[in-house]
Structure formats: C-alpha cells, structure tokens
Structure 1
Amino acid sequence: MAENTGDIVLPPTKRFRKIPIYVVEEHNDALQFIYSAIGGKKLPLEGTTLLHLDAHPDMLIDRKLKGTEARAGRNLLPLLQIENWIVPAAAAGHIAYVVWLRPPWAKQFRDGTRAFHVGDQPTTGLLRVDSTEPYYLSDALYSSHLINKRKLTFTVAELSDMSTSKQTIQELAETINISQPYVLDIDLDFFSTGNPFLLQYENIGLYDLLEPIFELKLPESDDEKEMEKAVELRERQLEELEKLFLYLEEHGNLEKYEGEKTELFDKVSRLSDVVIAEAEKLGEPPDWWLVFAAGCTRDQGGLPHHTSSEEQIRNMITSGLKPLLQRLPPPVLITVARSTEDGYCPPHQVELIQSLVLQTLSEVYDTDEPALHYLRVNTY
C-alpha cells in the first residue's frame, strides 16, 4: 500500500477553479505542466503523488543525467525522454509517491509497494537509484552508495481489461490509497499498446535477433558487491554496444573498426551483415541508431505489445477507469499523453481512445476544456 509517510506536506495555497487537463503527444511533455502548477502554488514544492496509468512505467533515468541537472528546475525538461521523466522529478523532491496502474499485458514490475532512494553516485555525480529491480539493473542504474538522496515510494497494481466487479475496484482503490494532492496522469497506450520495434525489419525478425546481443545477466545473489559488479559489467556492455552502433551509423559497416574484437563485436558484426542485406532488398540504408534503441528495450522480455479491440477499449474505460476514479479524491490536475507518433498507441485507435477518456474525465470531475498542447509547437 502506498502511504504518504514522513514529513507533513502543507497543502498548496491556491486551487484551480476547475481541474485542468493537458493533452500532450510525447509523455515527458506532461512534466512541464506539473512544474508550472508547483510554480503557481497549485501543487506543493515537495511530496506530490503521481497516479500513472500507462503500459510503460517511464521510471528509467538517462544514464548520463547528473543529479545537479535533475535538480535544476525547468532546465531539466529538455533533457528528458518519454521513458525517463518521472524519477528525475523525484530526485528534486517534487514527486514522492508514484502509483503505476498497468494493463494486464504490461509486466515490467511485479505488483506491490516498494521504497527506494534516488540520488547522486558520489564519484560521478550521475543520477542513480539503490533499487535492485531488474528494470534498473538492465540500464546499469543501480548504486549502493548515494548522496543528495530522496526516498521514492512506488506502488504497482493491475487495472484489468475484463469486466470488473465493484468489490474489485473498491479493493484496488484501497490498495493504491491515493490522497491529495496528486496528479492524474494517463497514457492512451494503456488501453491499446503497440511495440513499434516489432515492425523494424520484421521479415528477418530483427527484434528477436537483438535479444542475445543485449541480454542482461542478472547477479546470482543480492549481495551488494555482486550487484555492483553486475552493474559494472552491464555498463561496459552498453558502452561497447553504443560504440559499435555509433560506428555503424557513421561508416555503414564494421570492416575498418579499430576497437577491440570481442565476442560482442562478433555478434554485432554478424547481425550487421543480416541487416545490411535486408536493407538492400528494401532499397534503404539501415537506421543503426534505431536498431540500437530497439536493442536497449530487448532485455527482460522486451516491450509489451497488445492491440485491443474497440470493445475491449470501451470496457476498460467504462468498467475499469471510470468506477476507479469515482472512488478516488479529485486530482489537482490531469495530464494525458497520446504516444501515437512513436507508435506506442496505435494511430488508428488514438482518436477514439482520446475522445472516450476525455469524455469520462468530464463526467467524473469538474474540468476545464482540455488544453490540446500536442497541436502546438513545444517550447520551454
């Protein structure tokens, strides 16, 4: 159960007349509206809860992001991507509690509540966590020693796509234990989820070919030294892969690569031959950086993929989302991410999902007209 423990957070000094709704395309753009609400004293400076409905946790950290950058206010915003915008805000203290409601097909974390810290790795200043979850080990984000650290409480629970009883919804509401002030954050790919990397050179099954190259070898125990060693090896693996694919992006092949010819080099070399042959058939040069990005999602089973039927989408909203929201206190503000240009919410379904979600929000809450931020050029 997620509980707001620790220091007492004073309520914001001001309130919105009606609950604002901000609709963005890329999910990390939602954070600017949370920061604006903090600046306008609609949200407290510290301790806010984020109720996050999404097919993806978005709880990573850019491996090169420094703690000082995470605590730099709005200067942080241009440094973020869709998968790593929440934890940096937690490092600044603005978000203290995250509840990730996932659809049944998203299993990146086990259900339940855990608390961990986010802070600076002392020798590098890079932002890291002391969580030993595979989600963080796979990106070499674990560090047992942190400074300037903040506690983050993280709850994961499933909101089913099947017809859900009132008792089940009530139990879920009690489990996640949402209290004010909080932000309601909805990614439309929660209701129907695409994995755009599956379409990349699908004739050769590229996504599956990447698995043995990017696979994570988990430590055999949770001993601190074993964890640190595993992270060090993973960091080396990711750095070598990044170097190899950067070379491919610049030179098109590895024939004159002057780096060490490791086992990893051999694997990438064999893969590059297959990709180049397929790209020639398609009459297009390979996008090696996109191949690298796909590989970075391939460990731990890969990204979720589930295209819902229209009936399933409607049922998730009417039998899942709406009755749950009716059992929770109203949020301070609402952010909605479309996530369709990058292929995570199927483009042919996004308008239907958006209209149904916005209609539901207007029925449950006293809301302003949605601000369709995705129709404007993003500026910070």
Structure 2
Amino acid sequence: MAKIKKYGTLPLYIVEDHNEVVPFIHRAIGGKYLPMSDIIFVHFDSHPDLLIPAELKADDIFNKDILYESQSIENWILPLVYAGHISHVVWFKPPWCDQITDKTIQFDVGKCYSTGFLRTSCKESYFVSETLYRPVEKLLNRKTLALTVITVQPTNWQEKHPTEQHNGEHSNKEETCQPVNKMALTAEEDCRKNSNVQSQGKACEGDMKRKCVNGENSTSDKCQITQDTECPTKKQRLDIPQHGSHGNSSQDSLSPLSAIFVSKLENLFEDFKDRHIVLDIDLDFFSTKNPFKELYSSRQFQLLQELYTYTKPADDTDEAITKCVEEREAQLCQLKQVFLSMGDNPERIPKHERCELIQTLVDDLKLTFGDDGVDFGLLHDAGCTCDDTELPHHVSTQEEITLLIDSVQELLCHMYKPTIITMARSSNDDYCPPDQVDIIQDQTLEILQDLYLKLNLTASY
C-alpha cells in the first residue's frame, strides 16, 4: 500500500526497484500529466537501464501483464521507446561509469522479423554483448531513439580522484551509431560565445507560467510565480553553502560544475523547451555497488569472467557484428542450460567444452555456500554481466555524495521544469548501499523541493 503525502502539484513517485516505475509512467501517459509520445526521459543512474528483456516479444509490449512480468531493473526503458512514448533519453552518469562513452547517437528499436523479439540496431558494445543487436533492415515497426550520454563530473572531482579518468572527455572510441549533430556535446566554442550566460531559473518555468525577473532595475534576483511564492534562481542558491559542504564566499568556488559543462547543458536543454520531460533519478547514481563482487570471492568472480569471456566483433560491419551476436547467443545459451541442469542436480556437470573450468568454479563455490547453497540461476545472471565492461562499483564517501548532490542541483537549474519525477532507491538488491540510501534520499528530496518548491510525493516502497 502506497503512502501518499501532499506537497503540491509536481508528482514525484518513489519506488524500491526501477522497473516499478513503468506502471506509474503508463498511468501518467495520455492522461493528466504526459502526452502519448515525444517524451524526453532524463535519467540519473550508475547504469544505463537500456537493455531489452531477451525473450520479450515486441507485440507483448502492449500487453501490460506480460510486459510488467518480463521487465527487470536493467531493461525497462526501451520497451517504452518501442511503444512510441519516448523519443530522447539523456543518461547522466557519475564519473566512475564507462558502459557507454559520452556522445549523442541515434538508433532504432524494433521487432526482429525472424524471431518477433524486441531488438535494436545500435552497434554499441553494451547492446552487442547482450545479443540485442539486429541490422536495421531486419527490424519492423521501428521507433527511432536519440540517446545522449553525459558524465557528471564536478570541477574538483579529478583532483580528489587523480587516477579516475572521465571516460567521455578524451575517448578515441569510434561511434558505431549514427551521430546526431545538432545535439553533439562538443560546445567549447559555444561556451566562449556564451561565457556570460547565467541561469534564468529554467527549472522555475513551464506550465506554472513563471516569469523570471532579472532586469537592470530589479532589486533582487527572484522568480515571480502565480502563487506569489518565491523561487530562488541559480545565483541565489549558489550564494548559500549547500548541505554544509561549502564554506567559501566566492561564487566560482561554490559552483560544482565547470563553465564548459554548463554551456553544453544550456545547448542541450534548449532543444527540450516546450516538451514534456520525465526526470528519473536512481539513488545509486550517488553511490553504487556491484552486488556480485560482494557475493562472490575475487577468485570466484575471476573464474566466472573467464567462463563468460566476451570476444568483440572483428570490425564494425553488419556481418561481423551479426556473427559476434550469434556466437555470444550460443555461448550464453549453453551456459544457461548447464547451470539450469545443475540447479536440479548439483553433483552432475553436463557435457561442455569448458567443463573443467566449470568444475573448478563450482567446487570453490561449494566451499563458500555449502553443497546445497549455490544458486545456479543467480550465478548465470552474474556471468551475463561479464563482458568488456564491469558493473560499476564505487561506494562513495559522504563528501563525494554531497559533491554529486550539489552538482545535480546545479545541473537541474539549467533544465526546464519536468512534468513528473520518478525515483528508485535500489537498496534491496544492494546496488545503492543500504546504509546510505536514506541519507541520499533525504538530500535528493531536499534539492528537488528547493528547485520545484512543492512536490506531490507518492512513496511506494
């Protein structure tokens, strides 16, 4: 039973697991809050959540009972794209994530004509390693998605983490999907042209018909709202030390984001004017674990990675990528059958070309969990995460959490007011550390209330 508290007109829905957000969005679409299509989805998370349920038939997207049953925390967004609701996803990721490098790309999501499953034409390794790629000509009823990936890196993060390189700044990785030039995130020249740009309180604009007053004759920077409620602009917020993390009087030292980064945001968000925005925040954006690394020992995880090793395509052609997908599908299917069989009979390892490695892994696991304590289904799920990138693992200090909280607040100042907000705690599965999730949630709610004044909060967890 959801606990409902009334805070105002902007709906905010908090759940435990991210796939539980989908029913809420479905209820909002076509109703009071959201249109049927052309929604901008702004996603703060340590994970893209852009996978597809492997055996979800595209036609079942429109059967809500099957859809809700098929989805999990990592694969709930693209079904909304195929249903025609979302046209652009902006994934804001913290500095330690490298699943997809910073860029804007465009690709299709559609129905595979030979299998009927939902698949994508994107050649990013993130999709290929999960066997979700299909050539665009093999997809029916295609829906086009623009994906923008941006790393949120506070200005002084690098000096605190000298060995942690921002993967989007100097990446030489070739973009394998069609680039969208009008939203390319290389705005250094625009930054120089707009070096004096200051926030006009875009978060305070939108359907509440707010008018920002920053004229020469204005005695103070404020947003006048039809309710006669004052909304602080970015400048006012930065003049106040946020959450006790700042003590300097200089506004530049208080700003957690660089001028170049802010200019990129201004250019990106300008294209979202007069469009409906869903703001989605996973609290593991601020601190995250790889739960499999904590479940298994270093040796067990290393054996698992060796067993599920992923070989990249030879080149970027459709033929090479298709061959890679077919080989990866066969590999994962065989291993799934092995571990499903062992779930019924743990003492017998089915015939497999790497049975010696499987035996070594299982023997080691039994030393940890006992003869009957190995969860072979979970073991396969963990193995499927072993490709050319690992699940992110970065348990943040309180100082780091506060720095990222301040950066998100600064960032949202430049974005037009969203239509609805969704939030996932992700603590039951340990992706967001359970001992930190409540503090992170409280700080996140504090900045949202500061930005949007009042919220209509539904806490369902």
Q: How far apart are the structure 2 equivalents of 1:253 and 1:28?
A: 36
Q: How far apart are the structure 1 equivalents of 2:364 and 2:258?
A: 53
The CA deviation string for residues 145-179 of structure 1, in whole angstroms up to 9 with x for no partner, is 10011101101001114543451442241354344
Residue 410 of structure 2 corresponds to residue 323 of structure 1? yes
Relative distance call for 1:215 and 1:49 in structure 2 (3 A) is same
The CA deviation string for residues 3-48 of structure 1, in whole angstroms up to 9 with x for no partner, is xxxxxxxxxxxxx971111100001111211111114142111111
Residues 169 and 324 of structure 1 are in contact (CA less than 8 Å); yes or no, is this contact kept in structure 2?
Answer: no
Partner of 1:264: 354
Is 73-82 or 52-61 further displaced after alignment?
73-82
**How many residues are matched?**
351
Q: How far apart are the structure 2 equivalents of 1:272 and 1:166?
A: 49
- 2:73 is aligned, of 68, 82, 85, to 82
The CA deviation string for residues 216-248 of structure 1, in whole angstroms up to 9 with x for no partner, is 111111121121111111111111011011111
TM-superposed deviation, 1:268: 2.0
Q: How far apart are the structure 2 equivalents of 1:284 and 1:171?
A: 57
TM-superposed deviation, 1:336: 0.6
Residue 63 of structure 2 corresponds to residue 72 of structure 1? yes
Partner of 2:446: 359
Quick one: percent identity of the two aligned structures? Answer: 37
**Pairwise CA RMSD:** 1.8
Partner of 2:316: 222
Q: How far apart are the structure 2 equivalents of 1:284 and 1:266?
A: 20
Residue 128 of structure 2 corresponds to residue 40 of structure 1? no
Q: SS at 1:263's partner residue? A: coil
**TM-score for the superposition, normalised by structure 1:** 0.88
The residue type paired with residue 295 of structure 2 is Q
Residues 10 and 456 of structure 2 are in contact (CA less than 8 Å); yes or no, is this contact kept in structure 1?
Answer: no
The CA deviation string for residues 35-67 of structure 1, in whole angstroms up to 9 with x for no partner, is 111141421111111000000000001110110
Residues 300 and 364 of structure 2 are in contact (CA less than 8 Å); yes or no, is this contact kept in structure 1?
Answer: no
Partner of 1:167: 259
Residue 366 of structure 2 corresponds to residue 276 of structure 1? yes
- 1:143 is aligned, of 99, 115, 134, to 134
Structure with the larger helix share: 1
Q: How far apart are the structure 2 equivalents of 1:100 and 1:270?
A: 39
After TM superposition, list the pairs within 5 Å mapping 1:130-279 onto structure 2. 130-144=121-135, 145-163=138-156, 164-165=256-257, 167-177=259-269, 178-179=272-273, 180-202=275-297, 205-255=299-349, 257=350, 261-279=351-369
Q: How far apart are the structure 2 equivalents of 1:176 and 1:31?
A: 25
**TM-score for the superposition, normalised by structure 2:** 0.73
Structure 1, unaligned stretches of length 5 or more?
A: 1-15, 375-380
Residues 41 and 88 of structure 2 are in contact (CA less than 8 Å); yes or no, is this contact kept in structure 1?
Answer: yes
TM-superposed deviation, 1:265: 3.5
Q: SS at 1:300's partner residue? A: coil
Q: How far apart are the structure 2 equivalents of 1:277 and 1:30?
A: 39
Q: How far apart are the structure 1 equivalents of 2:290 and 2:314?
A: 30
Residues 82 and 143 of structure 2 are in contact (CA less than 8 Å); yes or no, is this contact kept in structure 1?
Answer: yes
The CA deviation string for residues 158-212 of structure 1, in whole angstroms up to 9 with x for no partner, is 111454345144224135434421100000000001111111232x532222111
The residue type paired with residue 338 of structure 1 is R
